[in-house]
Homo-oligomer: A and B are copies of this chain.
Amino acid sequence: MTGRAEDTSGLALRPIGHLHTPFRARADCPRNGRQLSPAPLCHASVLPDYHAGLRALDGFSHLILLYWMHEAAPGALLFTPPFDAEPRGLFATRAPWRPNPIGLSVVRFEGFEDDARLRVRYLDCIDGTPLLDIKPYLPTTDAEPDAAMGWLAPHATGKPQD
């Protein structure tokens, strides 16, 4: 371990925009963004300071959105999911109450609504969630269609629809 790894100053985030979904409260959110069929249209709005960074997004069919799950209070590291009978470690789940509540969704990108707003599907977060990053989805490094799902295998929902 190097000295620089201990320098944790500056780990502060700045929202680059917000996510707009039909889900007004946590209780309205689906278990994942592919559970609803059809998946509702959502929007990612980007603040003016960051518009220049959106150039050349056209042509990507999918994006990775990172966001701050601002209503998720820190929670138990070990818990029994509602659809399960055994306690599972938080890092073996996608529960929102993480030490760093950074949400991740692989979304379908359907172009720009206007200069500031992207049309996307497969979000499962609440309306108004702060957006942290937009990354292009690259199947060459991000797609592992045959990955084994451990304890979640019998509970999986949300097969890709396209």
Interface residue ranges, A against B (CB under 8 Å): 1-2, 4-5, 7-8, 10-16, 18, 20, 32-34, 45, 50, 52-62, 64, 66, 68, 70-71, 77-78, 86-94, 98-100, 102, 104-106, 122, 127-130, 132-153, 156-160
Give the contacting residue for A130; candidates B8, B88, B148, B157; CB below 8 A: B8
| A135 to B129 CA separation, bound complex (whole angstroms) | 19
Do residues B56 and A92 form an inter-chain contact, with CB atoms below 8 A?
yes
CB-based nearest B residue for A51: B77
This protein's copies in its complex: 2
Give the contacting residue for A91; candidates B4, B54, B61; CB below 8 A: B54
Give the contacting residue for A144; candidates B1, B88, B92, B139; CB below 8 A: B139
CB-based nearest B residue for A68: B11
Closest chain B CB from A29 CB (angstroms): 14
Do residues B147 and A139 form an inter-chain contact, with CB atoms below 8 A?
yes
Q: Which 6 A-B pairs have the closest CB atoms?
A: A59-B150, A55-B89, A5-B128, A56-B92, A53-B77, A53-B90
Whether A87 contacts B136 in the complex (CB less than 8 A), given A60-B150, A129-B5, comes out as no
Closest chain B CB from A80 CB (angstroms): 11
CB-based nearest B residue for A13: B11
| A95 to B99 CA separation, bound complex (whole angstroms) | 25
Residues of chain B contacted by A149 (CB below 8 angstroms):
59-60, 136, 138-140
Closest chain B CB from A3 CB (angstroms): 8
| A141 to B94 CA separation, bound complex (whole angstroms) | 11
Residues of chain B contacted by A156 (CB below 8 angstroms):
138, 140
